[in-house]
């Protein structure tokens, strides 16, 4: 970026001074994101994970303490257990269903409550308003990974959350071709967030920003389809004899359904299922040859995905008891009838390979 004269350069009296510190393309996206969530400002980062790290680093101090939901996105846990630990920051993981009981876990130097709703993989619904009320009483900052709902179905800042974090890689981009993270802050959290973002030198490339902004134009239409199709297929799976439980907060059978209904305006395309007991070979037989469902992690795009998961190995505050193999499903933009036919054939292979029904 160039300056017209020395005086402008020395006074920095123009909006754009250096590539890392913003450009019109990035401003257009950040302004839109901030409006969507009703924030004081938004920033982007090169990935969802870097946005999470940024938000946490904008709050913590060496030697301090943070509380993190036990079913958090697993790489977030990794960040806390490695980088934060090296900085002397202590992390306590809390039961997703703790509600106002979180107050019992506050220590004198607790700086942050980090939450995610519903939690990754197992989809428990935390009571965000109850957690926020307890944190506010003590002046503790609350950050939330809101990737699942997007601002269209839940606006964290309206519920008192200070920092709303998104893996823009998922629904914002929407086409599995962008890596991006975004953070939107309220008035209280904005200045430290901006300062930390600048200090870390985080930025996003113009092509990614352009694609994310274009994705935003259709996000509401795509999410309507993801919601309807995922609810339909979740209900269809719930009625299948091979499936023990469907973990989707939009289903009435879900233990967190009332909280979801109270706080959220909709649901997206991601949920999990617990199968009846069966061997790993039956899981592979089910998933390996699905025609429309890909085997992959990065959800939120146009295509449907299914992956096996096992969260029994890393939780510490709670355990998740599964009566059979667990599978996470993302419902993309395909015709749900085609997806049901694909799953139907996969479930036949599950039975043939020894899976129970
Ligand atoms: C994918 C994901 C992230 C991380 O996003 P990346 O862009 O892959 O780093 C964070 N939180 C949740 C809930 C996610 O699903």
pLDDT per residue over 160-187, tens digit each? 999 999 999 999 999 999 999 999 999 9
What is the pLDDT confidence band of residue 312, given thresholds at 50, 70 and 90? confident
Q: How far is the CA of 224 from the centre of ligand 1 (A)?
A: 21
Q: Which residue, judged by its Cα, is nearest atom 2 of ligand 1?
A: 167
Q: Which atom of ligand 1 is nearest to the CA of 148?
A: 13
Q: CA dihedral defined by 346, 352, 354, 357, rounded to 10 degrees?
A: 70
H or E element in which residue 182 lies: strand 181-185
- Alpha-carbon distance of 212 to 229, in angstroms, equals 23
Contact 138, 110 (CB under 8 A): yes
Mean local confidence (pLDDT), 21-34: 96
Provide the whole-model pTM: 0.97
Q: What distance in Å separates the CA atoms of residue 179 and residue 249, rounded to the nearest whole number? A: 27
pLDDT on residue 28: 97
Tokens for 153, please give them.
């179905």
pLDDT number for residue 311? 86
51 falls in which pLDDT band (50, 70, 90)?
very high
Q: How far is the CA of 105 from the centre of ligand 1 (A)?
A: 27
pLDDT over 90 at 348, yes or no: yes
Q: Are 55 and 193 in contact (CB under 8 A)?
A: yes
Given the CA of residue 167, which atom of ligand 1 is nearest to it?
5
Token pair for 123: 């989809």
73 catalytic residue (yes or no) = yes
Tell me phi and psi for residue 324, to 5 degrees.
-155, -175
Question: 211 φ, ψ to 5°?
Answer: -65, -40
Dist CA 216 CA 151 (whole Å): 11
Q: Phi first, then psi: what are they for 164, rounded to 5°?
A: -105, 125
Q: How far apart are CA 217 and CA 243, in angstroms?
A: 37
**C-beta separation of 346 from 289 below 8 A:** yes
Residue 58 burial (CB count, 10 A): 26
Whole-angstrom distance, CA of residue 195 vs CA of residue 193:
5
State the catalytic residue, choosing from 37, 73, 162, 245.
73
Return the biggest CA–CA distance within the chain.
77
Distance 14 CA to ligand 1 centre (A): 35
> What value does the mean pLDDT take over residues 75-103?
98
Q: At what angle do helices 187-200 and 48-57 cross, to 10 degrees?
A: 110
- Going 218 to 221 to 225 to 231, the CA torsion angle's sign is positive
**Residue 354 neighbours by CB distance under 10 Å:** 12
How many C-beta atoms lie closer than 10 Å to residue 18's C-beta?
A: 9
Q: Which of 44, 49, 144 to mutate to test the pocket of ligand 1 (most atoms within 8 A of CB)?
A: 49
Beta strands 110-116 and 65-69, pairing class: parallel
Does the active-site annotation cover 20?
yes
pLDDT for position 306:
98
Report residues whose beta carbon is within 6 angstroms of any ligand 1 atom: 47-49, 73, 120, 145, 147, 167, 169-170, 179, 181, 298
Q: CA gyration radius for the chain?
A: 21
pLDDT computed for residue 296 by the predictor: 94
- Catalytic residue at 136? no
Return the SS3 of 187. helix
Which of 54, 56, 73, when mutated, tests ligand 1's pocket best, judged by the most ligand atoms within 8 Å of its CB? 73
Please provide the average confidence, as pLDDT, over all residues in the chain.
Answer: 97
8 alpha carbon – ligand 1 mean position (Å): 40
- Residue 111 among the catalytic residues: no
Q: Which among 211, 271, 265 is positioned nearest to 236, based on CA atoms? A: 271
Integer Cα distance of 96 and 219 in angstroms: 28
- Give the whole-number percent of the chain exceeding pLDDT 70: 100
> Is residue 146 pLDDT above 90, yes or no?
yes
Burial class (CB in 10 A: 0-12, 13-18, 19+), 320: middle
Helices of type H across 89-205: 128-137, 150-153, 187-200
Ligand 1 atom at minimal distance to the Cα of residue 147: 13
């Amino acid at each position: 970026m160039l300056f017209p004269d020395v005086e402008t350069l020395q006074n920095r009296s123009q909006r754009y001074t250096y590539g890392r510190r913003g450009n019109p393309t990035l401003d257009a996206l950040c302004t839109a994101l901030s409006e969507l969530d009703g924030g004081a400002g938004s920033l982007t980062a090169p990935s969802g994970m870097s946005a999470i790290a940024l938000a946490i680093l904008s709050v913590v101090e060496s030697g301090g303490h943070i509380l993190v939901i036990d079913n958090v996105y697993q790489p977030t846990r990794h960040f806390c257990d490695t980088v934060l630990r090296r900085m002397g920051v202590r992390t306590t993981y809390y039961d997703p269903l703790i509600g106002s009981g979180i107050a019992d876990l506050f220590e004198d130097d607790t700086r942050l409550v980090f939450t995610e709703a519903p939690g990754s993989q197992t989809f428990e619904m935390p009571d965000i308003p109850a957690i926020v009320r307890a944190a506010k009483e003590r002046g503790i900052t609350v950050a939330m990974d809101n990737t699942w709902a997007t601002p269209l179905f839940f606006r964290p800042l309206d519920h008192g959350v200070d920092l709303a974090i998104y893996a823009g890689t998922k629904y914002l981009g929407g086409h599995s071709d962008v890596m991006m993270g975004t953070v939107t802050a309220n008035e209280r959290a904005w200045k430290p967030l901006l300062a930390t973002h600048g200090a870390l030198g985080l930025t996003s490339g113009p092509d990614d920003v352009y694609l994310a902004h274009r994705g935003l134009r259709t996000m509401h239409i795509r999410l309507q389809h993801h919601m309807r199709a995922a609810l339909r297929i979740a209900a269809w799976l719930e009625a299948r004899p091979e499936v023990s439980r469907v973990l989707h907060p939009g289903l009435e059978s879900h233990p967190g359904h009332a909280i979801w209904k109270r706080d959220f305006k909709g649901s997206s395309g991601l949920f999990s299922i617990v199968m009846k007991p069966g061997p790993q070979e039956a899981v592979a037989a089910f998933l390996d040859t699905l025609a429309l469902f890909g085997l992959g992690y990065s959800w939120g795009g146009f295509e449907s995905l299914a992956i096996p998961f096992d969260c029994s190995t890393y939780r510490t505050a709670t355990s998740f008891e599964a009566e059979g193999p667990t599978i996470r499903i993302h419902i993309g933009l395909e015709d749900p009838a085609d997806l049901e036919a694909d799953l139907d054939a996969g479930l036949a292979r599950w039975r043939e390979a020894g899976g129970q029904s």
